[in-house]
Amino acid sequence: MSLCKHLKGLAIPSSIIKKNHSIVLMAVCDAHYKFTLVDIGDSGSNSDGAVFANSRMGDAFAKMQLHIPDAESLPGSGTMYLYVLVGDDAFQLKQKLMKPYPREVLGIRERVFNYRLSRARRIIENTFGIVAARFRVFRRPIHARVEMVVNITKATVALHNYLMSEKAFESASKYCPAGFTETEGPGGTQLEGEWRSVVQRDQGLRDLTRAGSNNYSRSAKLVCEDFSNYFLSSAGQVP
């Protein structure tokens, strides 16, 4: 399952107008903390939904050009389930993009769904955390032109993927050793990854928190309900 996330960061002091600017790094990653799609460079002042909708990634997603696999059944179930991107409140619920239920409608069914979605979204949190912790250029605002910052970010994404691909080498284990990412503890508790202590005072990459629209289609709601039903079933539940 791929994961979607917005991060705002890379504040860029301008020599023309005396204020800082920020750009958005939007990314999709796989279950192994490797980026599979990135979109870099939109203005951090734009709304979250507008950034995704106006990006090449969002356009390809809307036109079904991302080669997302066809639906298939999950273990213990004969029902066909769509492959989806997993996002946070910054995104709009779509047929192939799941987001948490709003807090005002949280019954047990919705809480279980949100918990499972959160477990999946933790992968992208860790992916960004590894990059922010290992590449010191993101520790503070970058003093460079927008084009240069975009190129720097592209380079770090490529280097990150290379290092995560070469885990057989000793250098890779030093890049992302055991305990550096967040894991599940007893009873489903979340054990914080070491990267959080590394970046806690950094000022470079910042999370976007603006909520997206709650408007969605009937088909998107049905996909959400299908996953909710599976998570509550004996086959799909976790301890």
For residue 116, give both structure tokens.
């499972």
Pair 10, 132: CB distance under 8 Å: no
The residue ranking higher by pLDDT, 72 or 2, is 72
Pairing of strands 3-13, 205-207: antiparallel
**What domain range includes position 66?**
4-203+222-232
Residue 216 falls inside a structural domain: no
Residue 239 falls inside a structural domain: no
Residue 65 falls inside a structural domain: yes
Residue 211 falls inside a structural domain: no
Q: Check whether 160 has a pLDDT greater than 80.
A: yes
How far apart (Å, rounded) are the C-alpha atoms in residues 208 and 9?
9
Residue 238 falls inside a structural domain: no
Pair 182, 193: CB distance under 8 Å: yes
pLDDT in tens, 13-54: 333 334 567 788 888 998 889 999 998 877 766 666 677 888
3-class DSSP assignment, residue 109: helix
**DSSP for 189-217, written as a single string:** PEEPPHHHHHHTT--SEEE----------
The residue ranking higher by pLDDT, 164 or 205, is 164
Q: For 136, which DSSP code?
A: G
For residue 199, give both structure tokens.
């970046």
Q: Which residue in 159, 176, 157 sits closest to 168, CA to CA?
A: 176
Residue 237 falls inside a structural domain: no
Looking at residue 223, its pLDDT comes to 92
The residue ranking higher by pLDDT, 207 or 81, is 81
pLDDT in tens, 76-105: 888 899 999 998 887 888 999 999 998 877
- CA quadruple 110, 188, 193, 177: dihedral sign: negative
Alpha helix positions (H), the chain: 48-54, 56-62, 108-134, 146-165, 170-175, 194-199, 218-232
Residue 69 falls inside a structural domain: yes
Looking at residue 14, its pLDDT comes to 37
Q: Give me the number of domains the chain comprises.
A: 1
Looking at residue 19, its pLDDT comes to 57
3-class DSSP assignment, residue 20: strand
Residues 6+ apart with CB under 8 A from 205: 7, 8, 9, 10, 25, 128, 131, 132, 138, 199
Strand partners, 24: 8, 42
Residue 143 falls inside a structural domain: yes
